[in-house]
Amino acid sequence: MQVFCGIDWAEGHHDVALIDEAGQLVAKKRVKESVEGFTQLVEMLAAAGDSADTPIPVGIETPRGLLVAALRETGRPVFAINPMAVARYRERHSVSRAKSDHADAMVLANILRTDRHVHRALPADSELARAIAVLARAHQDATWQRTRAVQELRSVLREYYPSFLEAFAGSTTNLATPSARAVLAIASTPSAGARLTKAQIAAALRRAGRQRGIDTAAADLKQALRRSQLRQPPLIEQAMGVQALALLATLNNACDNVDRLAEAVTAAFQQHPDYEILVSFPGLSETGAARVLAEIGDDRARFSDARALKAYAGSAPVTRASGRSISITHRRIKNDRLAAAGFVWSFMAITNHPPARAHYDQRRDRGDRHPAALRHLFNRLLGQLHHCLTTGQLYDEAKAFGTLEEATT
């Protein structure tokens, strides 16, 4: 008799329900997320016929947490089912929309009983790949937080200190650079900036790590900071300077986090067997490649073919057909982290890889807008990556795009 397990996850406890092939309740229990609670869960599964040869599949609404990690270590197939899908299944059994923890555990078990074949078990990624995923996602989050901190600081500076923004408005520098942050720390208001000497600015640039062209840069910054501008009343200007320093402290912390996490994820990623393959692709830095690996994992059985990977990344289009109406649009339900990494990947590829640029230009000539052209290039690069990972080959420009003329076809 086949038995299925559903676990309704909560912060303090978990409701477990076991049902048989006929949908009848075999056992139920509430366990805590502790060693004792996990032992009770294992004993409950064993009493229902669980074994190493015929493990009971487990359905749960989250792919992470201590309970999921412990279940994965036992080798049981664990299915992380989207809570929105669970809500739809719940309506099949209760039109009143009644909800309880035990009933949700029953729903999860019934999903595996009736539709297990359309849901995916969590991939059997290696421990190193899962560690890289933790670091790569943390680095991605820290990068987004740094961007938000920069925009918040820029917004405040626009209100009272536009001359500072103009001083650091070059294409190769911005408020997140060490030089801009070091100068702002000693010139938080227009009046403070106007009093700075060339030697003070040069010292700040040196503290920021700059080694070349310091005197020239200091002279240019001195002139830029003394440029006339509209001013807030003195007390308001001083208050906004205090606010800017507080935001600067947040930005400094965000920048430090990005740097530390970049070192950690790079060190871990360099130990992975797929490192050489991923970094051989144009446009993929070490951190960018680590983000891609973090989302696709190293379980080769996870994606049956390149099309499955492209759909998961959101790069493959979706065709909707009903009667005479047919529309082809981009996917909105996707792995957002992988899609974000792919946008950066394809954008960097068109800047330093002529065949990728030719492919992008060809899509633009056909009428694609910038995001659509980048998404199409990402779709093609993903197919090539799937092939290289499957066969163990490094990226080969000639095989990937052929000649420059062939890249546009």
Residue 124 lies in a domain: no
367 and 333, same domain (yes or no): yes
With a cut of 80, say whether residue 355 has pLDDT above it: yes
DSSP 19: E
What confidence tens digit (pLDDT) does each residue in 115-159 have?
999 898 999 999 999 999 999 999 999 999 999 999 999 999 999
79 and 205, same domain (yes or no): no
177 and 93, same domain (yes or no): no
Residue 354 lies in a domain: yes
26 and 147, same domain (yes or no): no
Across the range 25-48, mean pLDDT stands at 92
Q: Could you say which of 267, 300, 335 is where a domain stops?
A: 267
Helix (H) or strand (E) holding 9, with range, is strand 3-9
Residue 328 lies in a domain: yes
In the numeric block, the tokens 């390149």 are attached to 306
User: The tokens of 191 are what?
Assistant: 């009046």
Q: Which residues contact 150 (CB under 8 A, 6 or more apart)?
A: 174, 175, 176, 251
* Mean pLDDT, rounded, of the chain: 91
Q: Which residues contact 256 (CB under 8 A, 6 or more apart)?
A: none
With a cut of 70, say whether residue 353 has pLDDT above it: yes
What confidence tens digit (pLDDT) does each residue in 156-194 have?
999 999 999 998 886 445 889 999 999 999 999 999 999
What confidence tens digit (pLDDT) does each residue in 206-225 have?
999 999 999 999 999 999 99
Instruction: Output Rg (C-alpha) for the chain, integer angstroms.
Output: 27
- φ, ψ of residue 326 to 5 degrees: the values are -135, 130
Q: Pick from 92-101, 238-247, 313-322 the range whose average pLDDT is largest.
A: 238-247
Across the range 285-309, mean pLDDT stands at 94
Distance separating alpha carbons of residues 266 and 288, to the nearest angstrom: 10
**How many domains does the chain fold into?**
3
Residue 126 lies in a domain: no
Q: What share of the chain is helix, strand, coil (3-state, %, to 5)?
A: 60, 10, 30
147 and 167, same domain (yes or no): yes
Q: Which residues contact 88 (CB under 8 A, 6 or more apart)?
A: none
Residue 6: HSE in the Cβ half-sphere, 13 Å Cα cutoff: 27
Q: For the beta carbon of residue 83, count every other beta carbon within 10 angstroms.
A: 11
Strands 318-322 and 325-329: antiparallel
Q: For the beta carbon of residue 95, count every other beta carbon within 10 angstroms.
A: 7
Residue 88 lies in a domain: yes
150 and 249, same domain (yes or no): yes
3-state secondary structure of 333: coil
Q: Could you say which of 118, 147, 167 is where a domain stops?
A: 118
Residue 123 lies in a domain: no
Residue 296 lies in a domain: yes
Strands 25-32 and 13-20: antiparallel
Helix (H) or strand (E) holding 20, with range, is strand 13-20
- Domain span including residue 204: 131-267
With a cut of 60, say whether residue 408 has pLDDT above it: no
Torsion of CA 138, 144, 149, 154, to 10 degrees: 160
Residue 171: predicted pLDDT: 46
145 and 250, same domain (yes or no): yes
Cα separations in angstroms, 232 against 191, 236, 237? 11, 6, 5
107 and 225, same domain (yes or no): no
Residue 150: predicted pLDDT: 94
What confidence tens digit (pLDDT) does each residue in 78-99 have?
999 988 888 888 887 776 666 7
307 and 222, same domain (yes or no): no
DSSP 319: E
Torsion 346-350-354-360 (CA) sign: positive
85 and 165, same domain (yes or no): no
Q: Could you say which of 267, 285, 304 is where a domain stops?
A: 267
Residue 38: predicted pLDDT: 93
Judge whether 286 and 279 are in contact, CB under 8 Å: yes
Residue 409: predicted pLDDT: 52
With a cut of 90, say whether residue 320 has pLDDT above it: no
Q: How confident is the model at residue 50 (pLDDT cuts 50, 70, 90)?
A: confident
